[in-house]
């Protein structure tokens, strides 16, 4: 089935994203400063660009691992059913962990993942989200650190996709669906 026609309007520039990540990295470094090694867990796929830029800004010893969770498929709305498609390779028990999420929307994915990881008994577990969409929240969860709070818009870019497209945009853009006749 063909995707509807759409346009993308820039919401957050690449320059703004880079500046915010630099500031967030300083806060994270101060928070975890005494840790021997921080395990940075990226939630695939949307966080891969964010995690790459974030860990390059972290002036500390980091280990990177990935977990893939899905609640969207190719839809623009969350299914609220979180599936784990790829689990961590490493152990996190007794270690400091930072979970990196691209966007917190309904909150179901982040809640599910943090509960699952807390059961593995990390020393500390904190979360960071590039984007937070509080108007859509359906569960009580908030990331420890947030890059940008955004309105209830469907967004793409900087790793975030629509049906596996537009992840390579260097900015965050709002998707505007076009009328069939436009």
Digit-coded pLDDT (tens) for 48-92 = 999 999 999 999 999 999 999 876 554 555 556 778 889 999 999
Domain CATH for 141: 3.40.50.2020
Decide if 105 is catalytic. Answer: yes
Amino acid 98: pLDDT: 98
Return the pLDDT at 77.
55
CB 139 within 8 A of CB 111: yes
Please check the confidence at residue 96 and state whether its pLDDT lies above 90: yes
**Domain membership flag for residue 4:** no
Is residue 181 situated within a structural domain?
no
pLDDT at 25: 97
Is residue 135, in this structure, part of any structural domain at all?
A: yes
Q: Which residue among the candidates 9, 53, 102, 105 is catalytic per the annotation?
A: 105
Confidence of residue 141 (pLDDT cuts 50, 70, 90): very high
Asked if the structure places residue 29 within a domain, the reply is: yes
Mean pLDDT of 109-125: 96
Is residue 140 predicted with pLDDT exceeding 90? yes
Q: What is the largest CA-CA distance in the chain?
A: 59
* Domain range for 49: 15-149
- Which residues, other chains included, contact 28 with Cβ-Cβ below 8 Å and sequence gap of 6+? 38, 54, 58, 98, 126, 128, 145
Mean pLDDT on 17-41 = 95
What would the mean pLDDT of 168-182 be, rounded to a whole number? 85
Classify residue 85: in a domain, yes or no: yes
**Band of residue 142 on the pLDDT scale cut at 50, 70, 90:** very high
Query: How crowded is the C-beta side of 10, counted as CA atoms within 13 Å?
Result: 9
| Torsion of Cα atoms, 104 then 108 then 114 then 120, to 10° | -150
pLDDT value at position 181?
A: 47
pLDDT (average), residues 117-129? 97
Q: Is residue 68 part of a domain?
A: yes
Q: How far apart are CA 174 and CA 43, in angstroms?
A: 21
Per-residue model confidence as pLDDT tens digits over 146-162:
999 999 999 999 999 99
Q: To the nearest whole percent, how much of the chain has pLDDT over 90?
A: 80
- How many folded domains does the chain comprise? 1
């Amino acid at each position: 089935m063909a995707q509807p026609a759409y346009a993308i309007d820039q919401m957050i520039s690449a320059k703004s994203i880079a500046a915010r990540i630099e500031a967030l990295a300083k806060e994270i470094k101060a928070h975890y400063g005494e840790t021997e090694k921080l395990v940075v867990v990226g939630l695939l796929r949307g966080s891969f660009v964010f995690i790459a830029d974030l860990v390059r800004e972290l002036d500390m010893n980091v280990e990177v691992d990935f977990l893939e969770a899905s609640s969207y498929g190719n839809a623009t709305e969350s299914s609220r059913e979180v599936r784990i498609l790829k689990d961590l390779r490493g152990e996190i028990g007794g270690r400091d962990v930072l979970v990196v999420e691209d966007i917190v929307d309904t909150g179901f994915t982040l809640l599910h993942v943090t509960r699952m990881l807390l059961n593995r008994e990390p020393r500390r577990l904190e979360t960071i989200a590039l984007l937070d969409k509080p108007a859509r929240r359906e569960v009580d969860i908030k990331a420890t650190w947030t890059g940008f709070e955004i309105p209830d818009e469907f967004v793409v870019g900087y790793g975030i996709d629509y049906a596996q497209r537009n992840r390579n945009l260097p900015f965050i853009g709002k998707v505007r669906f076009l009328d069939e006749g436009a």
